[in-house]
């Protein structure tokens, strides 16, 4: 089966990946401008992003319940809500308005993320094809294009609100395309009146923590790399946007190459090597004396971190029954997305006290937990 056949197979969840890539890519390319627009310090910006975490976690917890009732309408509806929500940050004029806007955006993104990963895991198990890397790689490439486009638009004087409105329009197109494709069927775990079997929380938690660290490193870099380039290394709007762009491109390259190699490689070895390479990239970016070295660091980080989330999802999905898979993926995503939304607040708090360079050093230390602590625990499972 070719990659084109795989894309057709996962068309519905892939639309969700594309929508999230568009929204977060535009956000990453506009962070320096929107931070100035709402008048927040590094710590204040991080706090505003922390507020958004609450909405995301709550939304992800109830997403399987909502998806089970909406069925085929779930993905297009969740994706449309995501697009409408991402029109709001560009209109924010204060820290409170920005925090409220990001709360809604994060909640919508959380529902899309749970739905798309659960459907993707079901399709992967049913088809026997390695689909996680393909979908996550598509997200990364779309994210890179969106971040670069946002940086170019910002450098050309386009207002921030107009850039976010453009993201909304593209996301609504993705929502429209999510109506087609094959729908993964989530089996009722209850079996009539029979109570649901308990989840294997040991493997769910391990996979969730790996995803958490990967997302934390990824989103911390997405949200703060452009600011690091512009503030500390003298890059302009386009040069700053190149940092998240290179991150997305190398993440996409890493995930798409993993699409073909995943069956021939040792999964634990790949996870450990990826985390170590990502930690090295974070250190290079933290110590970079010039923008060029900073770009190299973020490119290395992206290539390394690219394998963490998709391979953790695949590791978890392969150890679950079809009846438990959707609920387990949902719970692992809740754990993982804590990192996705905790990354920027962590960076903001550390930057407020120690500076952005120290913040990226902390990202490197977090990534080293994967080979040193988590992989030995996963091997026992």
**Residue 333, token pair as written in the block:** 């995503």
CA 292 → CA 35, 140, 150, 234, 348, distances in Å? 24, 21, 20, 11, 24
pLDDT score of 82:
94
Return d(Cα 217, Cα 253) in angstroms, integer.
17
**pLDDT tens profile 86-123:** 999 999 999 999 999 998 998 888 888 878 877 887 78
DSSP characters for 261-320? HTTTS-HHHHHHHHHHHHHHHHHHHHH-SSHHHHHHHHHHHHHHHTTHHHHHHHHHHTTS
For 194, which DSSP code?
A: S
Domains contained in the chain, CATH given = 11-177+199-380 (1.20.1250.20)
Positions of E strands within 48-114: none
Return d(Cα 242, Cα 236) in angstroms, integer.
10
pLDDT score of 192:
44
pLDDT score of 117:
78
User: Whole-prediction pTM value?
Assistant: 0.78
Task: Return the biggest CA–CA distance within the chain.
Answer: 64
pLDDT score of 173:
94
**Residue 186, token pair as written in the block:** 């989530």
The residues of the chain scoring below 50 in pLDDT are 185-194
For residues 217 and 210, the answer to whether their CB atoms sit within 8 Å is no
Q: Which residues contact 154 (CB under 8 A, 6 or more apart)?
A: 29, 30, 33, 160, 163, 237, 241
């Amino acid at each position: 089966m070719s990659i084109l056949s795989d894309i057709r197979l996962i068309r519905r969840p892939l639309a969700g990946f594309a929508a999230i890539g568009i929204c977060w890519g535009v956000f990453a390319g506009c962070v320096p401008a929107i931070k100035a627009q709402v008048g927040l310090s590094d710590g204040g910006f991080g706090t505003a992003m922390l507020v958004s975490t609450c909405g995301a976690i709550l939304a992800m917890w109830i997403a399987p319940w909502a998806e089970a009732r909406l069925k085929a309408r779930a993905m297009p509806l969740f994706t449309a809500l995501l697009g409408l929500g991402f029109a709001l940050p560009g209109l924010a004029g204060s820290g409170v308005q920005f925090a409220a806007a990001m709360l809604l955006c994060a909640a919508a993104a959380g529902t899309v993320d749970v739905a798309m990963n659960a459907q993707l895991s079901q399709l992967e198990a049913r088809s026997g094809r390695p689909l996680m890397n393909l979908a996550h790689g598509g997200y990364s490439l779309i994210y890179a294009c969106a971040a670069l486009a946002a940086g170019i638009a910002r450098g050309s004087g386009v207002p921030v609100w107009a850039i976010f409105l453009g993201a909304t329009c593209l996301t609504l197109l993705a929502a429209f395309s999510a109506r087609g494709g094959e729908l993964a069927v989530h089996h009722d775990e209850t079996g009539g009146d029979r109570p649901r079997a308990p989840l294997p929380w040991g493997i769910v938690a391990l996979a969730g923590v790996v995803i958490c660290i990967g997302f934390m490193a990824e989103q911390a870099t997405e949200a703060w790399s452009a600011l690091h380039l512009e503030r500390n290394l003298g890059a302009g709007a386009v040069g700053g946007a190149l940092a998240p762009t290179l991150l997305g491109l190398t993440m996409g390259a890493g995930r798409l190459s993993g699409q073909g190699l995943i069956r021939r490689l040792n999964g634990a070895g790949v996870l450990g090597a990826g985390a170590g390479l990502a930690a090295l990239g974070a250190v290079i970016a933290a110590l970079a004396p010039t923008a060029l070295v900073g770009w190299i660091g973020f490119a290395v980080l992206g290539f390394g971190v690219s394998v963490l989330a998709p391979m953790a999802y695949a590791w978890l999905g392969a150890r679950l029954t079809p009846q438990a898979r959707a609920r387990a993926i949902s719970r692992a995503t809740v754990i993982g997305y804590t990192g996705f939304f905790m990354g920027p607040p962590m960076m903001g708090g550390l930057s407020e006290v120690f500076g952005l360079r120290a913040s990226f050093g902390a990202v490197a230390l977090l990534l080293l937990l994967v080979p040193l602590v988590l992989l030995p625990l996963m091997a026992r499972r």
